[in-house]
Amino acid sequence: MKLIFSCTALVFIYFLSMSCVNAADRHSASELYVKSGLEKQMRDIGPALLAGYKNNYSRSDQHTDRDKKIYGNIEQVIEDSFDVEGMREKVVVGLMEGISDGDMELILAWLDSPVGKKITGLEERAGSEEGVRETMEYIKNIKKASISPERIRRVKDLNSSMNITDTTVDIALSTQFALTMTTKKAKKNISRDDVRGLYEDFQKNRERLEPMLRNQVHGSLLYTYQELSDEDLGQYLAFAQSESGKKYNSVTTSILLKAIAESSLQFAWEISQL
């Protein structure tokens, strides 16, 4: 019996060691976090949420004492809830656990390629304050733009392959839920489970929000990649549809959404305590 147990343990240890060998290391995961644009995206969430809150607050000249209390504490609550370093650690660990060393090598090679670097740069520019303004203007006048059917098809294929609209809706639902908690009068001694229940109930807004965002996302992608040649866009689509590309997209998306959802829940609970 002891011999059988020993052999089983050795086999188990062997498979564990194989798993460790194949897992991506922290350095590579950290490198991917930066080169993919995830780092900038995470840093931008807090400021975007703060800007949205202040915009809503400024639209009314009648505020309750609680409104004023939230306004006075909102920046600190956002900083605590959407903790950049905390979110970074969650994402890096998730990348280490979810992407193999082999896939990580291929993904980083893509991001380091001339086309990969160009795409990341265009995405970061589109996410800037100026880029957002230009995107909205582009979408507003998109019917006047001269866009080939082939370009439209490729962008639609990219959207579909990377589930960009669905991911955008998920992020919007999480951040919009956080904002609604600044105007919702929470019951006394609300628990974290209560907040999670409110969050899950808020997901019913997906059916209303998804059609509104679908066209905006499509227009945003057309604007973001307008400087890419059809050949470069084709390379991007080929990567997105490759096995490594699919793994990259599925892992980064799931980790990103989880980190944002957890931060939004923390934000909602902290706001409810004010």
Q: How confident is the model at residue 4 (pLDDT cuts 50, 70, 90)?
A: very low
Query: pLDDT tens digits for 213-233?
Result: 888 999 999 999 999 999 999
3-state helix, strand, coil in the chain (%, to 5): 85, 0, 15
Minimal CA–CA distance to 174: which of 151, 136, 203, 148? 203
In the chain, % of residues over pLDDT 90: 68
Mean pLDDT of 78-105: 93
Q: Given this model, what pLDDT does residue 145 score?
A: 84
Measure the CA angle with vertex 254, ends 48 and 95; round to 5°.
100
Mean pLDDT of 41-65: 89
Q: Given this model, what pLDDT does residue 187 score?
A: 66
Query: pLDDT tens digits for 195-210?
Result: 999 999 999 999 998 9
Q: Given this model, what pLDDT does residue 188 score?
A: 67
